[in-house]
């Protein structure tokens, strides 16, 4: 266990116009990561708000890119990461305060990558159904909102995220590594935003997610997936 506890964690956060959330998240990660962090890297895709300034003020290292694609942004951040473990977090998600110990325990237990369950920052009882299923180790129960940790050597050996996936990049990576490495779902929850459901409605979002996942399983072109997704629902975060 001791060698694993010495493995530092590089937190990588892809952003675009996340000024309302990024300061709170960076401050939180610093507070509960403390000396176990190698760094917090915010990879920003040409935000037109104060995302970069707020993140920098709260202690993040900033990388800017003209390409607004999470796969590209997270790969770019990983190239600057110095930690032995990479931890990818969306700007509007909040991991458990125990995330350092949780990740170290998972890696010490032989798991090279994994995620958390999640629950929404909403009292809508229907959203509890979605949250309940994230405890199960099925690909369709996954998603970037659950955050993702992965040993850096494994990430590099697998060439990271496939940048042709302009969405579903997290599903693609997990699916590709599923039979090669040990994946785990940590039995605690990340708090995630319900803003997409508030904007579109519960059933519309879930039906859209099902359609997109089925298209992903049929290996549809990633750009077709994204175009279809934006036809189906309005998205409050991605502006590209």
Domain ranges of the chain: 2-232
Beta bridge partners of 149: 87, 114
pLDDT at 237: 55
Structure-derived torsion over alpha carbons of residues 68, 54, 56, 79, reported in degrees to the nearest 10: -20
pLDDT at 4: 73
Residue 126: C-alpha distances to residues 130, 151, 206, 218, 231 (Å): 7, 35, 11, 28, 24
Residue 197: C-alpha distances to residues 120, 151, 153, 154, 187 (Å): 10, 32, 36, 34, 24
pLDDT at 178: 93
Query: pLDDT per position in the chain (240 positions), as tens?
Result: 456 778 999 999 999 999 999 999 999 999 999 999 999 999 999 999 999 999 999 999 999 999 999 999 999 999 999 999 999 999 999 999 999 999 999 999 999 999 999 999 998 999 999 999 999 999 988 887 899 999 999 999 999 999 999 999 999 999 999 999 999 999 999 999 888 899 999 999 999 999 999 999 999 999 999 999 999 998 775 444
pLDDT at 240: 42
Can you tell me whether residue 118 is helix, strand or coil?
A: strand
Going along the chain, which residue ranges are E strands? 9-15, 37-44, 61-64, 85-88, 113-120, 148-151, 183-192
pLDDT at 5: 72
Fold of 2-232: Spore Coat Polysaccharide Biosynthesis Protein SpsA; Chain A (3.90.550)
- State how far the Cα of 103 lies from the Cα of 63, in Å rounded to an integer: 25
Radius of gyration of the chain (CA): 17
pLDDT at 239: 45
Contact 42, 22 (CB under 8 A): yes
Cβ burial of 153 (10 Å; 0-12, 13-18, 19+) is: exposed
């Amino acid at each position: 266990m001791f060698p694993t506890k010495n493995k530092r964690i590089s937190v990588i956060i892809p952003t675009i116009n996340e000024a309302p959330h990024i300061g709170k998240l960076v401050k939180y990660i610093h507070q509960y990561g403390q000396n176990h962090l190698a760094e917090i890297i915010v990879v920003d895709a040409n935000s037109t708000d104060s995302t970069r300034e707020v993140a920098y003020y709260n202690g993040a290292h900033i990388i800017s890119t003209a390409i607004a694609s999470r796969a590209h942004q997270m790969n770019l951040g990983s190239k600057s990461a110095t930690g032995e473990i990479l931890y990818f977090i969306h700007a509007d998600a909040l991991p458990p305060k125990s995330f350092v110990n949780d990740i170290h325990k998972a890696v010490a237990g032989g798991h090279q990558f994994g995620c958390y369950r999640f629950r929404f920052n909403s009292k809508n009882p229907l959203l509890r159904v979605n949250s309940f299923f994230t405890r199960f180790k099925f690909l369709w129960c996954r998603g970037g909102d659950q955050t993702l940790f992965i040993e850096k050597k494994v990430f590099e050996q697998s060439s990271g995220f496939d940048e042709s996936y302009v969405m579903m990049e997290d599903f693609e990576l997990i699916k590709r590594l599923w039979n090669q490495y040990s994946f785990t779902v940590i039995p605690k929850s990340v708090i995630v935003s319900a803003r997409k459901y508030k904007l579109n409605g519960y059933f519309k979002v879930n039906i859209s997610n099902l359609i997109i996942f089925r298209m992903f399983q049929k290996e549809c072109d990633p750009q077709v997936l994204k175009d279809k997704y934006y036809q189906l629902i309005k998205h409050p975060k991605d502006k590209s």
